[in-house]
Structure 1
Amino acid sequence: MKRIGVDVGGTFTDLMYWDEDGSVAVHKVPSTPQDPSLATVDGVQQLVDKVGISIDELGHFLHGTTVATNIVLEHNGSEVGLITTEGFRDLLHIARKKRPLNYSSYQDLPWQKWQLVRRRSRRVVPERIDATGEILVPLDEDAVREQVRVLKSQGVRAIAVCFLHAYRNPVHEQVVKRIIQEEFPGVFVSLSSEVAPQYREYERFSTTALNAFVGPKVSNYIDNLANTTREAGVRGDIRLMTSAGGLITSRRAADNPVLLLTSGVVAGLLGGCAIGKASGYPSVITLDVGGTSADIGVAPDGRLRMKHLLDTRIGDYHAMVPMAEVDTIGAGGGSVAFIDEGGMFRVGPRSAGADPGPACYGRGGAEPTSTDAMVAMGWLRANSFLSGAMRVEPELALKAIDEHIASKLGSTVEHAAIGIFQILAHAMTEGISLHSVRKGYDPRDFSLVAEGGAGPLYAWHIAEQLGIPRVIVPHHPGIASAMGLLATDIRVETPATVWTSSADPDTERIAGEFDRLSAQAVEQLAADGLRPEDIVLERSLDCRYIGQGYELRVPAPAGEIDTGWIARAAEAFHDVHERTYRQRFDDKPVHFVNVRVTAIGKVGHVPLAEIEAGGADPSAAIKTTTEALFWTDDNEPRPFTTTVYDRTLLQAGNVITGPAIVEQFDSTTVVGPQQRATIDPVGHIVINTTETQGGQR
């Protein structure tokens, strides 16, 4: 089965091809922000031409995209209407009554300034269901028809339906959906009972409205991409990466686009997990640095950590959908360096993007970027970009740094260039610390996997700063997210609120919900073409102590759900609570809030083949030597004679001593002064940051 993984980033679109015979090929093309599908289809055609196959031989097309995320961040979604329970019209406006600036009377609340649904489009109808699912006020269907007609006259493109306690009984929302389809055919419909069937009114309403906000544009994008690839000859369905780290079909993604909000970001973490396991270091921190941003993930023992559902935000909005613990900061190869109004030297988060790009690209960009700084330091050579397919002009980089930074600070271009690098590296170091040390993980117990086009340029220094013992640079670091697409399974997660406690457990309800969710998840995967023997079910619980306001996710024990099972589940929660907060209260009852079933459809993963072994001497891979800037202990820049290697000629067992530069098609790796790197059996560069050539640091 031939597969291709495509990850669309802000600057480049990355592609990876894999055949079951073990052959692998990668490609990279500039993204087309005006229509991301253009770069996708062009890149696929170029890659299949490169490997010498016909495009109709592709069986699986796997895709990670930032389209949904960009719509939310840029506030350019579709006009949305809302139908809700009488009395709850302004719930989205009120939210949780939190204020970003506690003591300011004059501030814009983001969810009010950029409303998902304008007030005139928030319509109410008589209906009421209580927290047990009992109907207190029957749905007024005539009122529903009237409000749907009002929304149609307003020209909305999507309608969100959010009723109180619909997570316990969805019957009223289902009736409304039928009426909408009769009165307003073709409009995008988002039901809270389908998008986020669990308690917490505001978060459920926000998630459902967000799904409607991005729905029409994302659905059109998916449909256009599916049609374009089908016309080009791709036979298989498109499967898209979700924020939870699994794949879903294009049909399911078009119905629930809110699941795609951190699509491409998670793919990089999954790729890093596969890379770490292949090198024998399963606990990894991933640093995926692209042109616009840096994505940071922490995976102890190679396992994804899931965010708490009250922390799953995208931009200014709550999105109560499963999201892997990956965070993004505005630091990338295109991050612009500038002197602000107060005279401070700053870098990012604004990016030069794909167009015009860094000054050295010669496409009209005049401001210095991180990439220009590394060109000025000699780390990126003029003919090294995309193996020489993309020329850069070093003199333009030097000019931009001099005009915008060095001359204003009264420094040299060399000092300014190193300053740009160090400022951005510090931001990444702080980001890793925030998501490791401050969450109870010691980075010294992990390996740093350097991904993206720029990750291997920064990783050597960041690992030194944090005491991380090694850096792993994968065989194709610039394509790690595309590899992550090829290293994951189809995944469907379905939740339900049970609201019971270990003091007086409703075991019948817990068992019933687990059975219902399991059957629903298996049915969904079967509809996607998976065989029963390829489906694995995982059960989990959202638990808290009585009186707490937040839950923790806990793996559900195996076996029959009885009083013994309840005791084991409570004990598992005590353990997780102690791991998270360093406190446990064994004598307190445990509140079981939600149950979850995750159905995993197993697909064959891309195996990492071993490369040809050689001795310790890497001299056969040397391209040249160059003078590159590094800094001494007093932070003074000085040129170091630096060996430049061709990554494609390195063999397993080769040992590289720093400073060194390793060039390849999709990235460039820097090995710092006094560092030592080895090539492992699968071709990864493993940089040891704690031992120097002469012994311990």
Structure 2
Amino acid sequence: MSYRIAVDVGGTFTDVVGVSSDGSTTFVKVPSTPQNQAIGTINGIAKLANALKLDMSELLAQTERIAHGMTVATNALLERKGAKVGLLTTEGHRDVLEMREGLKPERYNMRLARQEPLVPRRLRLGVRERVRSDGAIEVPLDRGSLETAIEHLKSEGVTSIAVCYLHSYRDARHERETEQAIRAVMPDAYISLSCDVLPQIKEYERVSTTVVNAYVGPLIALYLGRLETQLKEAGFDGPLLIILSHGGVAPVSQAIQVAASTVLSGPAGGLAGGRRIAEIMNAPDLITFDVGGTSSDISLIADGAVTLSSDRTMANERIALPSLDIITLGAGGGSIARVEASGLLEVGPESAGSVPGPICYRSGGTVPAVTDASVVLGYLDPNNFAGGETKLDLDGAMTAFDALGQKLGVSAIEAAEGVHRVVNTQLAEGIRVATVRRGVDPRRFGLLGFGGAAGLHVTELARMLDIERVIVPRMASVLSAWGMLNTELRLEAVQTLVGETDTLDVTTVRDLFSELEKSGRDQMSSWFDGPVAFRRTAEMRYGEQVFEIDVPLDNVDLSTPDAMQQLKTAFEKRHDDLYAYHLPEQAPVLINARLASVGVLPEVPVPDSEAGSAGNAGRGRRNVYLGEWAEVPVYAFNYLVPGEKVEGPSVIESDTTTVLLRQGDVATSTPQGWLDIAVRP
């Protein structure tokens, strides 16, 4: 028997999934350890081994690969606890990082405080050199200027250096020479070169991304280095693969080199899992809805495909690397409820997290959270939480909502119900941002609910949005981890090549993609020995536009004489799809050529449910509050057989997931043992 393991570190829990060679799936959850995420990771693998009745060394010896998602980079940015970074840039350009794009996040807020850059001005140094936009050397690299700058950064105790010279995407020689000079003086420094991180046009995006990479890189290198060592010492000798923001996985070396690509590591796994479920359930249009303890992530799967974006920010820092288009909200099971000075009830974005956690966890929490409200309303069984491993403190939660209710002038139950209404409204608005505000009708989509808390909210959200179908997989609470085992090795490369389609030389474009493919093939061959596929896209725009759109080149044959006309046609079709018009008399402009090198990994098998005969899933009844108290039936998720139907109001629960069905909801167990829920008004 062999296994594949995935570990997803969240804000509250660390999820671990083990899939055997016959498709049997086992999953466990352990508290996250923010001070050192490796502790929670090792604890989770040990708990998985115990669930499989194996020693951890036995399990790891039989493990083919481990996929891992973490929040190290995310936490470093949010908490401003990254490395001490210095920036070397072309003389006269050191303030680009602070000037940003000249825009404020809230442009009409005259009192908005200026955000401090990740690198203070004294550590941003200009170096005398200049490369022109056509790649010609205007000013050679001045060694004296460079050595002075490096010595200054060394004397300041800098541990990480970002290097971003003007137009280095056209000629990277000066950045490469700078790297060698830094290594000679500061051999232990982490070095982030823009020609490696983001070799493309647009100065601010390039410098910001390179600096973010330098800011989180040393932490990622330290964490993954220690984790690799601990796993080897415990008996694992297979590859440790890290899921990146674009939804693919890569070896540790690649994750360290482009550390900024790990910022959306965890949420990317959920979308990878959602895409596999869309395929299995024949549901090509899904809204993925991941509710964890600290936050919620929302994204779209349209026609079975996900969308990548290069226009992401995290903690107000621009990261222009390709990443899955995910909207994150500060609302989850740990979101704290409070009464503002205005007398209004507010929920989140502050979270109780895993430490101290909600009051009902008995871990020192003192303020009510969404999970506490779920206990008070009867949605969660205080005596059977996490399979009975934890007894929730109903009395403590009730006392907290008594106090909250007094501030609001309502009862404890009404206060708890109000918390659920507020958080549901926030989550529904997040889904509208991902759909309606982008011209997408959410009613034609199904809603895929996962994460530890999604099952308590998902059918009500569907009703609020007029969505008629909800899917909740049995492994909903750990879907992000499971999804990491259902993705592919992926390497993203980009190179700027500016020109209009009616003047560009097709040979130049063809040669550029050929070079990118050769580089991708060479690098992928060092990762694994399987087949490599390539996916070409182009970032293009009309000349007067200030933004680009991604144009898939699947149907463009660059070997033909009319390839540039095909490229123009592909752009016009994409522009039509997005904006319902195109300008046939104008020649679009190619800005960047982008290539994804993909190594296909073996799929994780999904066997049919092995539940017994129908009628054995009943687990008694429980009082829940749905506008008024009602005694509703409770069912065991794992004992529902394929085809079995459950009508609401009712509760379906497993060790890690609770699904609340309201009046009019009808859940049908699928062949895989998942829930396919029809939602009616």
TM range (shorter): over 0.9
* Equivalent runs, 1:157-168 vs 2, <5 Å: 157-168=159-170
Kindly indicate whether the alpha-carbon contact (under 8 Å) linking 1:14 and 1:28 is maintained by their aligned counterparts in 2: yes
- Is the partner of 1:302 in helix, strand or coil? coil
- Is the partner of 1:98 in helix, strand or coil? coil
Counterpart of 1:278 in structure 2 is 280
Deviations for 1:479-520, whole angstroms, at most 9, x for unmatched residues?
100011011001001000000111212222211210111111
Counterpart of 2:548 in structure 1 is 551
2:157 corresponds, among 125, 147, 155, to: 155
2:72 equivalent to 1:70: no
- Is the partner of 1:504 in helix, strand or coil? coil
Determine the C-alpha separation between the residues in 2 that align with 1:243 and 1:282.
22
Kindly indicate whether the alpha-carbon contact (under 8 Å) linking 2:361 and 2:393 is maintained by their aligned counterparts in 1: yes
Counterpart of 1:84 in structure 2 is 89
Counterpart of 1:633 in structure 2 is none
- Is the partner of 2:601 in helix, strand or coil? coil
Task: Tell me by how many angstroms 1:108 deviates.
Answer: 1.6
Determine the C-alpha separation between the residues in 1 that align with 2:618 and 2:154.
67
2:368 equivalent to 1:365: no
Kindly indicate whether the alpha-carbon contact (under 8 Å) linking 1:8 and 1:65 is maintained by their aligned counterparts in 2: yes
Kindly indicate whether the alpha-carbon contact (under 8 Å) linking 1:279 and 1:682 is maintained by their aligned counterparts in 2: no
Task: Tell me by how many angstroms 1:323 deviates.
Answer: 0.7
Determine the C-alpha separation between the residues in 1 that align with 2:527 and 2:418.
51
2:463 equivalent to 1:467: no
Determine the C-alpha separation between the residues in 1 that align with 2:53 and 2:232.
19
Determine the C-alpha separation between the residues in 2 that align with 1:560 and 1:271.
34
Kindly indicate whether the alpha-carbon contact (under 8 Å) linking 2:22 and 2:605 is maintained by their aligned counterparts in 1: no
Task: Tell me by how many angstroms 1:674 deviates.
Answer: 2.0
Counterpart of 1:621 in structure 2 is 617
- Greater mean alpha carbon deviation, residues 273-282 or residues 640-649: 273-282
Kindly indicate whether the alpha-carbon contact (under 8 Å) linking 2:197 and 2:210 is maintained by their aligned counterparts in 1: yes
Question: Match for 2:225: what amino acid?
Answer: D
Task: Tell me by how many angstroms 1:567 deviates.
Answer: 1.2
Deviations for 1:359-384, whole angstroms, at most 9, x for unmatched residues?
11122212111111111111101122
**Uncovered stretches (5+) of structure 1, i.e. residues with no partner:** 631-636, 691-696
Task: Tell me by how many angstroms 1:217 deviates.
Answer: 1.1
* Equivalent runs, 1:363-442 vs 2, <5 Å: 363-403=363-403, 405-442=404-441
Question: Match for 2:346: what amino acid?
Answer: R
The 3 A distance-change label for structure 1 pair 170 and 137 is: same
Task: Tell me by how many angstroms 1:657 deviates.
Answer: 0.7
Deviations for 1:166-190, whole angstroms, at most 9, x for unmatched residues?
0011011000001111111010000
- Is the partner of 1:576 in helix, strand or coil? helix
Task: Tell me by how many angstroms 1:283 deviates.
Answer: 1.4
Task: Tell me by how many angstroms 1:582 deviates.
Answer: 2.1
Determine the C-alpha separation between the residues in 2 that align with 1:107 and 1:371.
33
2:677 equivalent to 1:677: no
Kindly indicate whether the alpha-carbon contact (under 8 Å) linking 1:489 and 1:602 is maintained by their aligned counterparts in 2: yes
Counterpart of 1:694 in structure 2 is none
Task: Tell me by how many angstroms 1:105 deviates.
Answer: 4.5
Determine the C-alpha separation between the residues in 1 that align with 2:303 and 2:49.
35
Counterpart of 2:331 in structure 1 is 331
Counterpart of 1:582 in structure 2 is 580
Kindly indicate whether the alpha-carbon contact (under 8 Å) linking 1:278 and 1:682 is maintained by their aligned counterparts in 2: no
Counterpart of 2:238 in structure 1 is 236
Task: Tell me by how many angstroms 1:297 deviates.
Answer: 0.9
Task: Tell me by how many angstroms 1:343 deviates.
Answer: 1.1
Task: Tell me by how many angstroms 1:562 deviates.
Answer: 4.7
* Equivalent runs, 1:28-427 vs 2, <5 Å: 28-53=29-54, 54=58, 55-110=60-115, 113=116, 115-307=117-309, 309=310, 311-403=311-403, 405-427=404-426
- Greater mean alpha carbon deviation, residues 558-567 or residues 184-193: 558-567
Counterpart of 2:444 in structure 1 is 445
Kindly indicate whether the alpha-carbon contact (under 8 Å) linking 2:623 and 2:629 is maintained by their aligned counterparts in 1: yes
TM-score (norm 2): 0.97
Task: Tell me by how many angstroms 1:439 deviates.
Answer: 1.5
Kindly indicate whether the alpha-carbon contact (under 8 Å) linking 1:679 and 1:686 is maintained by their aligned counterparts in 2: yes
Determine the C-alpha separation between the residues in 2 that align with 1:198 and 1:313.
18
The 3 A distance-change label for structure 1 pair 90 and 273 is: same
Task: Tell me by how many angstroms 1:76 deviates.
Answer: 1.2
Kindly indicate whether the alpha-carbon contact (under 8 Å) linking 2:82 and 2:219 is maintained by their aligned counterparts in 1: yes
- Is the partner of 1:296 in helix, strand or coil? strand
Determine the C-alpha separation between the residues in 1 that align with 2:222 and 2:611.
48
Task: Tell me by how many angstroms 1:106 deviates.
Answer: 4.0
- Greater mean alpha carbon deviation, residues 422-431 or residues 436-445: 436-445
Determine the C-alpha separation between the residues in 2 that align with 1:606 and 1:422.
38
Question: Match for 2:37: what amino acid?
Answer: P
Question: Match for 1:524: what amino acid?
Answer: Q
Determine the C-alpha separation between the residues in 2 that align with 1:26 and 1:102.
46
Kindly indicate whether the alpha-carbon contact (under 8 Å) linking 1:429 and 1:466 is maintained by their aligned counterparts in 2: yes
- Is the partner of 2:510 in helix, strand or coil? helix
Kindly indicate whether the alpha-carbon contact (under 8 Å) linking 2:68 and 2:241 is maintained by their aligned counterparts in 1: yes
The 3 A distance-change label for structure 1 pair 104 and 486 is: closer
Determine the C-alpha separation between the residues in 1 that align with 2:611 and 2:237.
38
- Is the partner of 1:620 in helix, strand or coil? coil
Kindly indicate whether the alpha-carbon contact (under 8 Å) linking 2:293 and 2:452 is maintained by their aligned counterparts in 1: yes
Deviations for 1:92-136, whole angstroms, at most 9, x for unmatched residues?
1111111233345443222xx2x2111111111211111111111
Counterpart of 1:634 in structure 2 is none
Determine the C-alpha separation between the residues in 2 that align with 1:473 and 1:426.
20
Task: Tell me by how many angstroms 1:529 deviates.
Answer: 2.2
TM-score (norm 1): 0.95
Kindly indicate whether the alpha-carbon contact (under 8 Å) linking 2:502 and 2:564 is maintained by their aligned counterparts in 1: no
Question: Match for 2:585: what amino acid?
Answer: D
Deviations for 1:495-550, whole angstroms, at most 9, x for unmatched residues?
0000011121222221121011111111111111233xx21111010010111110
* Equivalent runs, 1:508-587 vs 2, <5 Å: 508-531=507-530, 534-556=531-553, 557-587=555-585
Kindly indicate whether the alpha-carbon contact (under 8 Å) linking 1:613 and 1:653 is maintained by their aligned counterparts in 2: no
Task: Tell me by how many angstroms 1:561 deviates.
Answer: 4.3
Determine the C-alpha separation between the residues in 2 that align with 1:328 and 1:106.
26
Kindly indicate whether the alpha-carbon contact (under 8 Å) linking 2:611 and 2:639 is maintained by their aligned counterparts in 1: no
Question: Match for 1:513: what amino acid?
Answer: L
Task: Tell me by how many angstroms 1:623 deviates.
Answer: 0.6
Deviations for 1:433-466, whole angstroms, at most 9, x for unmatched residues?
1101222222111111110110111001000111
Kindly indicate whether the alpha-carbon contact (under 8 Å) linking 2:474 and 2:638 is maintained by their aligned counterparts in 1: no
2:652 corresponds, among 640, 647, 662, to: 662
Task: Tell me by how many angstroms 1:649 deviates.
Answer: 1.0
**Uncovered stretches (5+) of structure 2, i.e. residues with no partner:** none
Determine the C-alpha separation between the residues in 2 that align with 1:102 and 1:620.
59
Kindly indicate whether the alpha-carbon contact (under 8 Å) linking 2:611 and 2:640 is maintained by their aligned counterparts in 1: no
Question: Match for 2:186: what amino acid?
Answer: F
- Greater mean alpha carbon deviation, residues 92-101 or residues 485-494: 92-101
Determine the C-alpha separation between the residues in 2 that align with 1:276 and 1:466.
20
Please, what is the CA RMSD of the aligned residues?
A: 1.3
- Is the partner of 2:659 in helix, strand or coil? strand
Question: Match for 2:256: what amino acid?
Answer: A
Task: Tell me by how many angstroms 1:334 deviates.
Answer: 0.6
Kindly indicate whether the alpha-carbon contact (under 8 Å) linking 1:614 and 1:652 is maintained by their aligned counterparts in 2: no
Determine the C-alpha separation between the residues in 2 that align with 1:232 and 1:641.
49
Task: Tell me by how many angstroms 1:140 deviates.
Answer: 1.1
Determine the C-alpha separation between the residues in 2 that align with 1:386 and 1:105.
49
Determine the C-alpha separation between the residues in 2 that align with 1:554 and 1:560.
14
Task: Tell me by how many angstroms 1:653 deviates.
Answer: 0.7
Instruction: Provide the aligned length of Structure 1 versus Structure 2.
Output: 675
Determine the C-alpha separation between the residues in 2 that align with 1:343 and 1:147.
55
Question: Match for 2:506: what amino acid?
Answer: T
